Protein backbone atom coordinates (compact mmCIF):
# COMPACT_ATOMS: atom_id res chain seq x y z
CA UNK A 1 0.00 0.00 0.00
CA UNK A 2 1.50 3.35 -1.06
CA UNK A 3 1.32 6.39 1.19
CA UNK A 4 -1.90 8.39 0.80
CA UNK A 5 -0.87 11.81 -0.60
CA UNK A 6 -3.89 13.42 1.06
CA UNK A 7 -3.23 12.13 4.59
CA UNK A 8 -2.58 14.67 7.35
CA UNK A 9 1.01 14.57 8.60
CA UNK A 10 2.19 15.93 11.94
CA UNK A 11 5.78 17.23 11.99
CA UNK A 12 7.25 17.64 15.49
CA UNK A 13 10.43 19.66 15.97
CA UNK A 14 11.51 22.47 18.30
CA UNK A 15 13.39 24.21 15.47
CA UNK A 16 11.09 26.21 13.21
CA UNK A 17 13.72 26.02 10.49
CA UNK A 18 13.68 22.21 10.50
CA UNK A 19 9.88 22.17 10.37
CA UNK A 20 10.04 24.50 7.36
CA UNK A 21 12.59 22.23 5.65
CA UNK A 22 10.50 19.08 6.24
CA UNK A 23 7.29 20.88 5.23
CA UNK A 24 8.92 21.96 1.93
CA UNK A 25 10.30 18.48 1.25
CA UNK A 26 6.88 16.94 1.96
CA UNK A 27 5.29 19.49 -0.37
CA UNK A 28 7.71 18.47 -3.13
CA UNK A 29 6.72 14.85 -2.49
CA UNK A 30 3.05 15.81 -2.88
CA UNK A 31 1.98 15.96 0.78
CA UNK A 32 0.16 19.25 1.36
CA UNK A 33 -1.73 18.59 4.61
CA UNK A 34 1.01 19.18 7.16
CA UNK A 35 0.57 20.35 10.76
CA UNK A 36 3.33 21.15 13.20
CA UNK A 37 4.14 20.92 16.92
CA UNK A 38 7.14 22.24 18.86
CA UNK A 39 7.54 19.30 21.25
CA UNK A 40 6.04 15.97 22.28
CA UNK A 41 3.50 17.46 24.65
CA UNK A 42 2.03 19.78 22.02
CA UNK A 43 2.09 16.92 19.51
CA UNK A 44 0.20 14.61 21.84
CA UNK A 45 -2.53 17.23 22.22
CA UNK A 46 -2.84 17.56 18.43
CA UNK A 47 -2.83 13.79 17.95
CA UNK A 48 -5.72 13.45 20.40
CA UNK A 49 -7.70 16.12 18.55
CA UNK A 50 -7.21 14.97 14.93
CA UNK A 51 -6.47 11.71 13.14
CA UNK A 52 -3.04 11.82 11.47
CA UNK A 53 -1.76 9.41 8.87
CA UNK A 54 1.88 9.88 9.89
CA UNK A 55 4.01 11.47 12.62
CA UNK A 56 7.50 12.71 11.77
CA UNK A 57 9.26 13.64 15.00
CA UNK A 58 12.58 14.91 16.27
CA UNK A 59 14.02 13.19 19.38
CA UNK A 60 15.66 15.95 21.43
CA UNK A 61 12.98 18.42 22.55
CA UNK A 62 11.77 20.06 25.77
CA UNK A 63 9.68 19.43 27.80
CA UNK A 64 8.62 16.15 26.16
CA UNK A 65 11.09 14.39 23.86
CA UNK A 66 10.20 12.53 20.68
CA UNK A 67 11.13 9.26 22.41
CA UNK A 68 8.61 9.96 25.18
CA UNK A 69 6.04 10.97 22.55
CA UNK A 70 6.58 7.67 20.73
CA UNK A 71 6.04 5.69 23.96
CA UNK A 72 2.90 7.72 24.78
CA UNK A 73 1.52 7.15 21.27
CA UNK A 74 2.17 3.42 21.38
CA UNK A 75 0.61 3.17 24.86
CA UNK A 76 -2.60 4.92 23.80
CA UNK A 77 -5.00 2.44 22.14
CA UNK A 78 -6.56 5.19 20.00
CA UNK A 79 -3.16 6.29 18.63
CA UNK A 80 -1.06 3.16 18.83
CA UNK A 81 -1.33 2.27 15.13
CA UNK A 82 -0.25 5.73 13.88
CA UNK A 83 2.88 5.37 11.73
CA UNK A 84 5.83 7.12 13.39
CA UNK A 85 9.14 8.14 11.82
CA UNK A 86 11.92 9.53 14.01
CA UNK A 87 14.04 12.22 12.30
CA UNK A 88 16.93 13.07 14.57
CA UNK A 89 20.60 13.85 15.08
CA UNK A 90 20.70 11.05 17.70
CA UNK A 91 22.57 8.38 15.78
CA UNK A 92 23.91 6.08 18.49
CA UNK A 93 23.00 2.41 18.32
CA UNK A 94 21.28 2.52 21.71
CA UNK A 95 18.93 5.25 20.42
CA UNK A 96 17.98 3.31 17.29
CA UNK A 97 17.44 0.11 19.30
CA UNK A 98 15.39 1.92 21.97
CA UNK A 99 13.23 3.61 19.33
CA UNK A 100 12.65 0.33 17.51
CA UNK A 101 11.74 -1.43 20.75
CA UNK A 102 9.34 1.42 21.53
CA UNK A 103 7.62 0.84 18.19
CA UNK A 104 9.10 3.33 15.73
CA UNK A 105 8.33 2.51 12.08
CA UNK A 106 11.45 4.11 10.63
CA UNK A 107 14.45 6.19 11.64
CA UNK A 108 16.15 8.99 9.73
CA UNK A 109 19.40 10.56 10.87
CA UNK A 110 19.96 14.29 10.31
CA UNK A 111 21.10 15.75 8.00
CA UNK A 112 19.02 13.95 5.39
CA UNK A 113 17.77 14.58 1.86
CA UNK A 114 14.42 14.40 0.07
CA UNK A 115 15.20 10.96 -1.40
CA UNK A 116 15.80 9.49 2.07
CA UNK A 117 12.57 11.01 3.40
CA UNK A 118 10.60 9.66 0.43
CA UNK A 119 12.21 6.24 0.73
CA UNK A 120 11.43 5.97 4.46
CA UNK A 121 7.82 7.14 4.06
CA UNK A 122 7.33 4.65 1.20
CA UNK A 123 8.83 1.80 3.21
CA UNK A 124 6.55 2.54 6.20
CA UNK A 125 3.47 2.18 4.02
CA UNK A 126 4.65 -0.81 1.98
CA UNK A 127 6.01 -2.83 4.92
CA UNK B 1 55.83 21.43 74.13
CA UNK B 2 59.47 20.39 73.47
CA UNK B 3 61.91 22.32 71.27
CA UNK B 4 61.68 19.52 68.70
CA UNK B 5 57.89 19.69 68.60
CA UNK B 6 58.10 23.48 68.28
CA UNK B 7 60.45 23.17 65.32
CA UNK B 8 58.15 20.63 63.63
CA UNK B 9 55.15 22.88 64.20
CA UNK B 10 57.06 25.88 62.83
CA UNK B 11 58.08 23.84 59.82
CA UNK B 12 54.48 22.77 59.16
CA UNK B 13 53.26 26.35 59.50
CA UNK B 14 55.94 27.51 57.04
CA UNK B 15 54.76 24.85 54.55
CA UNK B 16 51.14 25.92 54.99
CA UNK B 17 52.06 29.60 54.58
CA UNK B 18 54.07 28.78 51.47
CA UNK B 19 51.16 26.80 50.05
CA UNK B 20 48.77 29.69 50.76
CA UNK B 21 51.11 32.09 48.96
CA UNK B 22 51.29 29.71 45.98
CA UNK B 23 47.53 29.27 46.03
CA UNK B 24 46.92 33.04 46.11
CA UNK B 25 49.31 33.56 43.21
CA UNK B 26 47.70 30.76 41.18
CA UNK B 27 44.18 32.03 41.89
CA UNK B 28 45.30 35.44 40.63
CA UNK B 29 46.87 33.86 37.53
CA UNK B 30 43.66 31.91 36.94
CA UNK B 31 41.94 35.26 36.29
CA UNK B 32 38.66 33.72 37.41
CA UNK B 33 36.95 37.11 37.61
CA UNK B 34 37.96 38.01 34.09
CA UNK B 35 36.74 34.60 32.89
CA UNK B 36 33.46 34.95 34.75
CA UNK B 37 32.81 38.61 34.00
CA UNK B 38 34.23 38.99 30.48
CA UNK B 39 35.50 35.98 28.58
CA UNK B 40 32.68 33.47 29.16
CA UNK B 41 29.84 35.99 28.62
CA UNK B 42 31.60 37.24 25.46
CA UNK B 43 31.90 33.66 24.16
CA UNK B 44 28.20 33.13 24.92
CA UNK B 45 27.34 36.27 22.95
CA UNK B 46 29.47 35.11 20.02
CA UNK B 47 27.69 31.72 19.96
CA UNK B 48 24.27 33.36 20.21
CA UNK B 49 25.22 35.57 17.24
CA UNK B 50 26.29 32.45 15.29
CA UNK B 51 22.94 30.78 16.00
CA UNK B 52 21.04 33.92 14.98
CA UNK B 53 22.97 34.49 11.77
CA UNK B 54 22.82 30.83 10.66
CA UNK B 55 19.09 30.76 11.39
CA UNK B 56 18.55 34.03 9.54
CA UNK B 57 20.59 32.91 6.54
CA UNK B 58 18.85 29.51 6.42
CA UNK B 59 15.46 31.20 6.42
CA UNK B 60 16.55 33.60 3.66
CA UNK B 61 17.89 30.72 1.56
CA UNK B 62 14.67 28.75 2.06
CA UNK B 63 12.58 31.79 1.15
CA UNK B 64 14.59 32.11 -2.11
CA UNK B 65 14.06 28.41 -2.88
CA UNK B 66 10.34 28.71 -2.12
CA UNK B 67 10.10 31.80 -4.38
CA UNK B 68 11.81 30.00 -7.25
CA UNK B 69 9.70 26.86 -6.85
CA UNK B 70 6.46 28.83 -6.85
CA UNK B 71 7.42 31.28 -9.62
CA UNK B 72 5.41 31.50 -12.83
CA UNK B 73 7.52 29.92 -15.58
CA UNK B 74 5.13 30.63 -18.45
CA UNK B 75 7.31 33.49 -19.76
CA UNK B 76 10.81 31.97 -20.11
CA UNK B 77 12.65 35.31 -20.41
CA UNK B 78 10.95 36.83 -17.37
CA UNK B 79 11.40 33.57 -15.46
CA UNK B 80 15.14 33.48 -16.23
CA UNK B 81 15.55 37.08 -15.13
CA UNK B 82 13.71 36.32 -11.89
CA UNK B 83 15.75 33.16 -11.18
CA UNK B 84 19.04 34.99 -11.92
CA UNK B 85 18.08 37.72 -9.44
CA UNK B 86 17.15 35.16 -6.78
CA UNK B 87 20.41 33.26 -7.32
CA UNK B 88 22.42 36.45 -6.77
CA UNK B 89 20.52 36.97 -3.51
CA UNK B 90 21.37 33.40 -2.57
CA UNK B 91 25.12 33.99 -3.14
CA UNK B 92 24.94 37.14 -1.02
CA UNK B 93 23.19 35.30 1.79
CA UNK B 94 25.92 32.64 1.87
CA UNK B 95 28.40 35.31 3.02
CA UNK B 96 27.20 34.60 6.58
CA UNK B 97 29.63 31.67 6.70
CA UNK B 98 32.67 33.98 6.78
CA UNK B 99 31.37 35.88 9.81
CA UNK B 100 30.27 32.78 11.71
CA UNK B 101 33.70 31.24 11.05
CA UNK B 102 35.40 34.26 12.63
CA UNK B 103 33.05 34.23 15.62
CA UNK B 104 33.61 30.53 16.25
CA UNK B 105 37.40 31.03 16.03
CA UNK B 106 37.14 33.60 18.82
CA UNK B 107 35.13 31.15 20.98
CA UNK B 108 37.73 28.43 20.37
CA UNK B 109 40.49 30.87 21.47
CA UNK B 110 38.52 31.63 24.67
CA UNK B 111 38.15 27.91 25.43
CA UNK B 112 41.88 27.39 24.85
CA UNK B 113 42.65 30.30 27.22
CA UNK B 114 40.40 28.83 29.93
CA UNK B 115 41.81 25.35 29.44
CA UNK B 116 45.38 26.64 29.81
CA UNK B 117 44.58 28.60 33.00
CA UNK B 118 42.59 25.81 34.67
CA UNK B 119 45.17 23.21 33.72
CA UNK B 120 47.99 25.34 35.23
CA UNK B 121 45.90 25.92 38.38
CA UNK B 122 45.26 22.19 38.82
CA UNK B 123 48.94 21.38 38.31
CA UNK B 124 50.33 23.99 40.72
CA UNK B 125 47.79 23.39 43.49
CA UNK B 126 47.85 19.59 43.12
CA UNK B 127 44.07 19.54 43.30
CA UNK B 128 42.48 16.24 42.29
CA UNK B 129 39.13 15.96 40.52
CA UNK B 130 36.01 14.88 42.38
CA UNK B 131 34.38 12.82 39.61
CA UNK B 132 31.19 12.41 41.60
CA UNK B 133 30.56 16.14 42.07
CA UNK B 134 27.56 17.68 40.31
CA UNK B 135 25.28 20.49 41.44
CA UNK B 136 21.67 19.53 42.15
CA UNK B 137 20.57 21.04 38.83
CA UNK B 138 23.39 19.30 36.93
CA UNK B 139 22.52 15.96 38.57
CA UNK B 140 18.89 16.27 37.47
CA UNK B 141 19.95 17.14 33.91
CA UNK B 142 22.50 14.27 33.76
CA UNK B 143 19.85 11.78 34.96
CA UNK B 144 17.33 13.05 32.39
CA UNK B 145 19.83 12.87 29.53
CA UNK B 146 20.81 9.34 30.55
CA UNK B 147 17.23 8.11 30.91
CA UNK B 148 16.00 9.64 27.64
CA UNK B 149 19.18 8.88 25.67
CA UNK B 150 19.84 12.52 24.85
CA UNK B 151 23.33 12.58 23.36
CA UNK B 152 22.95 15.22 20.64
CA UNK B 153 24.72 15.14 17.27
CA UNK B 154 27.62 12.73 17.02
CA UNK B 155 31.18 13.74 16.24
CA UNK B 156 33.12 11.87 13.52
CA UNK B 157 32.68 8.11 13.94
CA UNK B 158 30.80 8.32 17.22
CA UNK B 159 27.38 7.52 15.72
CA UNK B 160 25.75 5.57 12.91
CA UNK B 161 25.25 6.71 9.31
CA UNK B 162 21.87 6.23 7.60
CA UNK B 163 22.97 2.99 5.86
CA UNK B 164 24.20 1.62 9.21
CA UNK B 165 20.86 2.53 10.84
CA UNK B 166 18.94 0.87 7.97
CA UNK B 167 21.02 -2.27 8.46
CA UNK B 168 20.37 -2.21 12.19
CA UNK B 169 16.61 -1.79 11.69
CA UNK B 170 16.62 -4.68 9.23
CA UNK B 171 17.88 -7.00 11.97
CA UNK B 172 14.64 -6.34 13.85
CA UNK B 173 12.51 -7.16 10.83
CA UNK B 174 14.41 -10.37 10.05
CA UNK B 175 15.80 -11.62 13.35
CATH code assigned at A85: 3.40.50.2300
Which residues constitute the domain of residue B104? 31-129
Residue B56 maps to a domain: yes
Residue A77 maps to a domain: yes
Residue A2 maps to a domain: no
Residue of B nearest to A60 (CA): B150
Which residues constitute the domain of residue A78? 9-126
Q: Domain count of chain A?
A: 1
How would residue A101 be classed by pLDDT, with cut points 50, 70 and 90? very high
Instruction: Please spell the DSSP secondary structure of A16-78, one letter per residue.
Output: HHHHHHHHHHHHHTT---EEEESSHHHHHHHHHHS--SEEEE-SS-SSS-HHHHHHHHHHSTT
Contact B160 A96 (CB under 8 A): yes
Residue B108 CA to its chain's centroid (Å): 8
Residue A3 maps to a domain: no
pLDDT at A114 over 70: yes
Q: Domain count of chain B?
A: 1
Residue B137 maps to a domain: no
Residue B50 maps to a domain: yes
- Chain B residues touching residue A115 (CB < 8 angstroms): none
- Chain A residues touching residue B152 (CB < 8 angstroms): 60, 89-90
Residue B11 maps to a domain: no
Counting one residue from chain A and one from chain B, the pairs whose CB atoms sit within 8 A come to 67
Percentage of chain A exceeding pLDDT 90: 92
Q: What is the ipTM of this complex?
A: 0.90
**Which pLDDT score, from 0 to 100, does residue B173 have?**
63
* CA-based nearest residue to A72, from A50, A103, A51, A35: A103
**Which pLDDT score, from 0 to 100, does residue B175 have?**
43
Residue B26 maps to a domain: no
Residue A61 maps to a domain: yes
- Chain B residues touching residue A21 (CB < 8 angstroms): 62
Contact B151 A92 (CB under 8 A): yes
Task: Convert the pLDDT of each residue in A20-57 to its tens digit.
Answer: 999 999 999 999 999 999 999 999 999 999 999 999 99
**Which pLDDT score, from 0 to 100, does residue B30 have?**
79
For residues B109 and B167, give the distance between their C-alpha atoms in angstroms, rounded to a whole number: 41
Residue B80 maps to a domain: yes
Asked if residues A98 and A67 have their Cβ atoms less than 8 Å apart, the reply is yes
**Strands lying side by side in the sheet with A106-109:** A34-37, A9-12, A54-57, A84-88, A106-109
Residue B102 maps to a domain: yes
Contact A110 B62 (CB under 8 A): no
Residue A1 maps to a domain: no
For residues A104 and A31, give the distance between their C-alpha atoms in angstroms, rounded to a whole number: 21
Residue A81 maps to a domain: yes
pLDDT < 70: residue spans in chain B: 1, 173-175
The answer to whether residue B156 neighbours chain A at the CB level (below 8 Å) is no
**Which pLDDT score, from 0 to 100, does residue A89 have?**
94
Residue of B nearest to A71 (CA): B148
Amino acid sequence: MAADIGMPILVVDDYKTMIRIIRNLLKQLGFEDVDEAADGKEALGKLRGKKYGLVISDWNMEPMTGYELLREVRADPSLSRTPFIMVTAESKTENVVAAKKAGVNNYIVKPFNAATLKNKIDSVFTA
Amino acid sequence: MSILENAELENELRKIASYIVTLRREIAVLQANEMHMKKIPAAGQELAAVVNSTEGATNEIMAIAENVLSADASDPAAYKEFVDKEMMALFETCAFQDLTGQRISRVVKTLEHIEARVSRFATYTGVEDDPEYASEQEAVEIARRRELLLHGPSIADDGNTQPMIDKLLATFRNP
